[in-house]
Structure 1
Amino acid sequence: MWKAVASNALTLFIVVLLFAGGLLIWAKQKYAEPGPLETAICLRVEPGSTMVGVSRDLGDQEAVRHPLIFRLGARYAEKDDDLKAGSFLLPAHASMEEIVDLVTRVGRSTCGTDVNFRIGIASAELQVRTFDPATGRYEEVLAFDPGTGEVPAEYAGLMAEPDLRYRVTLAEGVTSWQVVDELKQADFLDGDIAAVPAEGSLAPDSYEVTPGEAREALLAEMAARQTALLDRLWETRAEGLPLASKEEALVLASIVEKETGVPGERRRVASVFVNRLERGIRLQTDPTVIYGLTMGKAPLGRGIRQSELARRTPYNTYQIDGLPPTPIANPGRASIEAVLNPETTEYLYFVADGTGGHAFARSLDEHNRNVARWRAIEAGRGGN
């Protein structure tokens, strides 16, 4: 009799064990398989939330089929205590495993409202965008220049939304004075700026910031990125360049940055200046003259006068040999790369061609013909 009881108990234990094993395999499969979401959504995780509450929200939004498996999977992965507050983009058909990873690993919101303070060559713009999970794109809500003092009424309401992401973006070719002047208008930053950073020392890039971050700290990050970038690119420079230092490369890169906005011709423009430096020909570039007049504090707003071209200043490359003493703007990566690895050409001149780019020439005669064509284009536009 006891043998029969023991045999039956063992059989039952094996059945239970097999059932538990099968249940575990099934649960792991459900945890990793694509979820029921047909379109992406933004999941809001409030501060102080628990994985239990999040699993219920996910169930209510039909993002997961089995909230209990979601919680158990997070606990098994030892992530149930790593929940982050924020708004997170859940892609269509995200698995429970992927969702757990998103809400515990990212550490910052991946959807919601984005505030981007863009510092451009001529002006700044504060742009507010909201992420549309259905299209996967940010849609502009409003944009304005904070320097004008005219702030849209809806701006204050948008600033009250949770999980705003803040960003400061520098355009290529902005001057350090412009950056400092515009950052004073960024009301989500804090602190004074003791001095304008050296020209060329700030990296044009996009910087994620936190509300209340010190302006000085942001400038330090910009300078650190530019230094690191220049150090890396200097190591990849072509041989035989007429540039004695990284600092000279930065000066020339800033000139290229101000001379052309066409990505495909940066290396060709750089070759003109490199050829001139190698042959001892003055650079004769207008942007350096303009910088000598304004010191980067404002656009000139008019043409250069003949008297200004004839005046000898440290930045008048019609009057001085070689490079000016400092950069004339903050060049971006592409312009730095261009001067460190320019095209191999015999060009010594270039002039606008009427299409946004430039016509290049090897000789003065060829250049004069290009100039005549450009002047004819200008005259035709003036007559329209």
Structure 2
Amino acid sequence: MRKAGCLGLIVAAALGLSALYVLRTWGGPGPAEQNMTVVIKDGSSLTGAARTLEQAGAIRSADLFLTFAKLLGDDAPIQSGEYRIPKGMSASDVLKMLQGGKTLQRFVTVPEGMPSILVHEKLMAEKLLTGTVEIPAEGSVLPDSYSFERGEPRAAVLKRMQAAMTKKLDALWAARKPTSAVSSPREAIILASIVEKETGVPSERRMVASVYSNRLRTGMKLQADPTVIYPVTKGKPLGRRILRSELNAQNGYNTYAMAGLPAGPIANPGAESIAAVLDPEQSRALYFVADGSGGHVFAETLSQHNANVQKWYALRRAKGEM
């Protein structure tokens, strides 16, 4: 009886040590001494992924990882992609991460009002993307942040940007109000790109859209400075005052020299500016000028506008800008 008791204790101790070993090897801290990124290639099997993880130092042993994965893990397939492995992540959590497809998220951001020439430069400057793309059509990209994976083609990311604009524009166009002055989705993008460039104050978008909508209805020239600049810089900052020759130029974009909308968009407008054009503020305003606080003051008549302009000049003189 005494021998049987000792044997039982030995077995229990052995089982306890085995359980402790499993706990520490599978569920305990992993060998990664710092945060790291690991790329699991497309089509990788669990075995291939384990070898990659071992070589990177994310797990101690590929063989042990595979053994414990079969005994203690589930049958969910792993997902390819780039993963961020935190310092000391356990082998168990590494497997869960791969099975859950929680890949490292990288983003390329297109701000509202960014012209396509700068969208192109941003895509080409992202070293983790591959391939080349042409400058996208102006107004075809929806400003937003887009996730991508290391090695993804630039063309694929651009396609998502343009698909997002198509989807958003379709939805906004379907909900347009009868008060909108544009007659097609393309016209909506063109006018929205002007609104986007004319104000950085979100609450003003519908009012700026109202001014330009009122001008379109009455046949007044839009006289929007950003449309004068666009043929000169393709949307990049001008960096100087507009020249008289540029105000007189005939090029399809200069809204000082022609009535109606310019030949095309002058930037990639955001959803809010598109929505503003399709549901402008109800007003009779035809003019606006900066108010000195980042926004604008609006007027219905030229005399009111001229008075507002003089106030703006006075503010600039007080600041030593004139």
* TM-score normalised by L of structure 2: 0.72
2:160 corresponds to = 221
Counterpart of 2:110 (choices 170, 186, 207) is 170
2:53 corresponds to = none
Please list the CA deviations of residues 208-236 of structure 1 after superposition, one character each: whole Å capped at 9, or x if unmatched: 11111111222121111111111110000
2:313 corresponds to = 375
Counterpart of 1:189 (choices 129, 132, 140) is 129
**Secondary structure, counterpart of 1:319 in structure 2:** coil
5+ unaligned residues in a row in structure 2: which ranges? 1-33, 41-48, 51-57, 59-67, 87-92
Question: How far apart are residue 250 of structure 1 and its match?
Answer: 0.3
Aligned amino acid, residue 181 of structure 1: E
Q: Which has the higher contact order (CA 8 A, sep 6+)?
A: 2
Q: Please give the alpha-carbon distance, in whole angstroms, between the structure 2 residues aligned to 1:259 and 1:348.
A: 14
Report the aligned-residue RMSD.
3.1
Question: How far apart are residue 346 of structure 1 and its match?
Answer: 1.1
1:336 corresponds to = 274
1:208 corresponds to = 147
Q: Is the 8 A contact 2:180 2:280 kept in 1?
A: no
Please list the CA deviations of residues 309-364 of structure 1 after superposition, one character each: whole Å capped at 9, or x if unmatched: 12332111111110001000000111011101111111111011010000011111
Q: Please give the alpha-carbon distance, in whole angstroms, between the structure 2 residues aligned to 1:349 and 1:365.
A: 10
Larger strand fraction of residues: 1
1:306 corresponds to = 244
Q: Please give the alpha-carbon distance, in whole angstroms, between the structure 2 residues aligned to 1:383 and 1:185.
A: 36
Q: Please give the alpha-carbon distance, in whole angstroms, between the structure 2 residues aligned to 1:254 and 1:281.
A: 19
Q: Is the 8 A contact 1:45 1:84 kept in 2?
A: no
Q: Count how many residue pairs are aligned between Structure 1 and Structure 2.
A: 259
Alignment of 1:202-281 (within 5 A): 202-281=141-220
Q: Is the 8 A contact 2:248 2:257 kept in 1?
A: yes
Q: Please give the alpha-carbon distance, in whole angstroms, between the structure 1 residues aligned to 2:85 and 2:318.
A: 55
* TM-score normalised by L of structure 1: 0.61
Q: Please give the alpha-carbon distance, in whole angstroms, between the structure 2 residues aligned to 1:254 and 1:312.
A: 20
1:81 corresponds to = 76
1:288 aligns to 2:227 (yes or no):
yes
Structure 1 residues 231 and 326, CA gap change in structure 2 (3 angstroms): same
Aligned amino acid, residue 318 of structure 2: G
Q: Please give the alpha-carbon distance, in whole angstroms, between the structure 2 residues aligned to 1:270 and 1:170.
A: 22
Counterpart of 1:179 (choices 110, 119, 122) is 119
Structure 1 residues 88 and 335, CA gap change in structure 2 (3 angstroms): farther
5+ unaligned residues in a row in structure 1: which ranges? 1-41, 50-56, 58-67, 90-98, 110-163
1:364 aligns to 2:302 (yes or no):
yes
Q: Stretches of 4+ moved more than 2 A in 1?
A: 42-49, 79-89, 102-106, 310-313
Question: How far apart are residue 278 of structure 1 and its match?
Answer: 1.0
Structure 1 residues 106 and 254, CA gap change in structure 2 (3 angstroms): farther
**Secondary structure, counterpart of 1:230 in structure 2:** helix
Q: Please give the alpha-carbon distance, in whole angstroms, between the structure 1 residues aligned to 2:35 and 2:131.
A: 34
Structure 1 residues 104 and 311, CA gap change in structure 2 (3 angstroms): closer
Q: Please give the alpha-carbon distance, in whole angstroms, between the structure 1 residues aligned to 2:146 and 2:313.
A: 41
Aligned amino acid, residue 107 of structure 1: G
Identical aligned residues as a percent: 47
**Secondary structure, counterpart of 2:228 in structure 1:** helix
Q: Is the 8 A contact 1:266 1:338 kept in 2?
A: yes
